[in-house]
Amino acid sequence: MKSIIKTTSLVVLATVVTFTACRKKKEEVIPAVTPATAETLSQEVIVSFASTIALPQYNDMSVGAINLVNAVANLNATTTQANLVIAQQEWKNLRSTWEQSEAFLFGPVADENLDPNVDDWPVNKNDFDSVLVSTAPLNDSTVANYQTSLKGFHALEYILFDANQSKQASNITPREKQYMTAIANDLKKNCTKMYTGWAQNSGNYYHTFTTTNSVYTNKLQTLVTIVDAMASICGEVGEGKIKSVYEGQDASQEESQFSNNSFTDFRNNIIGVRNVYLGVYKANDSRGLEDIVRQYNLSLDGKIKQQMETAINSFNGFTKPFGQAIFTEATQINTTIAAINALKITLETELKPLLQANIK
């Protein structure tokens, strides 16, 4: 592999410099690949994804949802501006974890239809306001059966925030308090399901994902599932969350429009992709897809890493919230769309074929 290392030394060097803050330096001597080592490494990457990323992140979802429920309860009991700010922050904290987890929307979150139940958007404002002015019961059981656009993150966002960032706790009505309590409880229920679905002492999707079975018949299929999910969220962010709203010039279709949190959402989606590729979540750093790619193509590894950083950093170029930027920052919007799309194409046309050519 010495000749490969020499011809790609600049790429490797750039990659190490770029990722020093988020990842330990890798050994630069890449051993020869055999079918046995490829098999072992693939299994390590699969187990690492389940144990280093999926389980801890869904556990954080469960814990974060409890924190949000408690913050909403405190706000209802003592409706001060300070408690509103705390509830808003807990919403953002949980939102951050969720958006990063959208880089792997498979397993229980898809099988149990949890995604739309927590993250449907945009909010149906007319129906939402109709609920508030009606006298229909607002409790956990009734709200759980509402259409998805009337519950989840964005329904709660609608009560906790306003787009001008001037929400006053004193203006929260008793009816809104009932509603946001039920929404928060429903979020907690669904976030808990995401974790218990993977947990080894419960739904144990962990076992399904890390072994050969009727769902995942070989390691290639498992790894391709991961890559497809990464590419899918890139497509959703670039084409759905950004491009469609920009081209339609319609801020009412923005994702997190009441909290002005959309750019943070989008960035976290791509950070989630990076986490999966590197095998990193918070302080956890284990095997990732990069470890397979580096065995076969150091140049591609450097390209993927550079494209991820370019996409993430592209959000730093905006000076206004997304709902305003779609009207005033066209160049930067197009730059960001192009960066995310370039990453998506590489995942689909270079990373996935590399796996298909080398992993069984």
* pLDDT surpassing 70 at residue 98: yes
3-state secondary structure of 284: strand
pLDDT band at 17 (very low <50, low <70, confident <90, very high): very low
Mean pLDDT on 120-135 = 93
| Helical residues (DSSP H) of the chain, grouped into ranges | 2-7, 9-19, 35-48, 55-77, 81-101, 108-111, 114-119, 125-133, 140-144, 153-160, 174-198, 205-210, 219-235, 244-248, 262-278, 289-296, 298-313, 322-328, 330-346, 352-358
Percent of the chain past pLDDT 70, that is, above it, reads 91
Question: What does pLDDT average to over the chain?
Answer: 92
Instruction: Check residue 33 and give its pLDDT.
Output: 78
Instruction: Check residue 165 and give its pLDDT.
Output: 81
CATH class of 2-358: mainly alpha
Instruction: Check residue 15 and give its pLDDT.
Output: 42
Distance CA 75, CA 168 (A): 12
* Least trusted range by pLDDT, from 2-6, 25-29, 107-111, 282-286: 2-6
For the chain, the distance separating the N- and C-terminal CA atoms, rounded to the nearest angstrom, is: 22
Instruction: Check residue 280 and give its pLDDT.
Output: 98
Instruction: Check residue 173 and give its pLDDT.
Output: 97
Mean pLDDT on 300-312 = 99
Instruction: Output the six-digit token pair for 276.
Output: 């999966």
Instruction: Output the six-digit token pair for 143.
Output: 């709200």
Cβ atoms of 230 and 273 closer than 8 Å: yes
Instruction: Check residue 29 and give its pLDDT.
Output: 54
Mean pLDDT on 115-124 = 94
Instruction: Output the six-digit token pair for 274.
Output: 């990076």
DSSP 8-state class, residue 281: E
Instruction: Output the six-digit token pair for 64.
Output: 């974060």
Cβ atoms of 91 and 157 closer than 8 Å: yes
3-state secondary structure of 214: coil
Mean pLDDT on 195-211 = 96
Cβ atoms of 200 and 20 closer than 8 Å: no
Residue 284's DSSP bridge partners are 281
pLDDT band at 124 (very low <50, low <70, confident <90, very high): confident
Instruction: Output the six-digit token pair for 43.
Output: 């299994």
Using only C-alpha atoms, what is the Rg of the chain?
Answer: 22
Cα separations (Å) of 17 from 146, 189, 213, 265, 282?
Answer: 49, 42, 40, 26, 19
Distance CA 298, CA 295 (A): 7
Cβ atoms of 5 and 30 closer than 8 Å: yes
Say which residue, 33 or 116, is predicted with more confidence: 116
Cα separations (Å) of 110 from 105, 115, 195?
Answer: 6, 7, 13
Domain boundaries, the chain: 2-358
DSSP 8-state class, residue 88: H
* pLDDT surpassing 90 at residue 13: no
Tens-place pLDDT, residues 20-42:
444 544 455 556 678 888 999 99
Instruction: Check residue 28 and give its pLDDT.
Output: 52
* pLDDT surpassing 90 at residue 236: yes
Instruction: Check residue 349 and give its pLDDT.
Output: 99
Cβ atoms of 152 and 118 closer than 8 Å: yes
Distance CA 311, CA 309 (A): 5
Cα separations (Å) of 321 from 175, 241, 258, 305?
Answer: 30, 14, 11, 27
Count of other CB atoms within 10 angstroms of residue 80: 12
* Least trusted range by pLDDT, from 3-12, 90-99, 166-175: 3-12
Percent of the chain past pLDDT 90, that is, above it, reads 87
Cα dihedral value 207, 153, 244, 227, nearest 10: -10
Instruction: Check residue 164 and give its pLDDT.
Output: 80
Say which residue, 25 or 333, is predicted with more confidence: 333
Cβ atoms of 210 and 46 closer than 8 Å: yes
Question: Which residues, at least 6 apart from 137, have a Cβ–Cβ distance to it below 8 Å?
Answer: none
